[in-house]
Amino acid sequence: MADKEKMLARCNAITKNTLMETLNITYTDIGEDYLTARMPVDEKVHQPDGVLHGGATVALAESVGSAASLIFLDNEKVFIRGVEIAANHVSSVRSGYVYATARFLHKGRTTQLWDIKVTDGDGKLVSSCKLTTISLPKTK
């Protein structure tokens, strides 16, 4: 893979003034077939009873999947949009960080299907998400 640190810096730079910045989502690792991001779990992303809100989890999952599409597709020629996301929340988190790792299940020219696992700091599964993205040609 091209310079890993450069790619992560690029991903983190595009979060300025976005939901990702609001949620303190940071891209932390990249490989040949995956991208990982982390998000702190604190009162900003809690439900009223003090556990991680499922909506914040889904925002993390869509953020990492969409950023992965930008990296692994020809983003000079296409722009990416999320089409559908589904999440199964299997355990709760009260504090620390959650990590989302996106991997392709299908890499088509037009549509892509991502498998995104969200885990806690110990690697325990928090949510299993599927994201469908579409790549559309940029027009000048």
Cβ atoms 56, 126 nearer than 8 A: no
Active site residues: 62
Tens digit of each residue's pLDDT (9 = 90 or more) over 58-102: 999 999 999 998 888 877 788 889 999 999 999 999 999 999 999
Q: Please tell me the total count of domains within the chain.
A: 1
Tens digit of each residue's pLDDT (9 = 90 or more) over 109-132: 899 999 999 999 999 999 999 999
Q: What global pTM score does this model have?
A: 0.93
Rg (CA), the chain: 15
Cβ atoms 62, 82 nearer than 8 A: yes
Question: Which residues 6+ apart lie within 8 Å of 68 measured at CB?
Answer: 34, 35, 102, 104, 114
- Short-list 70, 14, 63, 9, CA closest to 38: 63
User: Which residues constitute the domain of residue 42?
Assistant: 4-137
127: domain CATH number is: 3.10.129.10
Range with lowest mean pLDDT among 4-8, 52-56, 97-101: 4-8
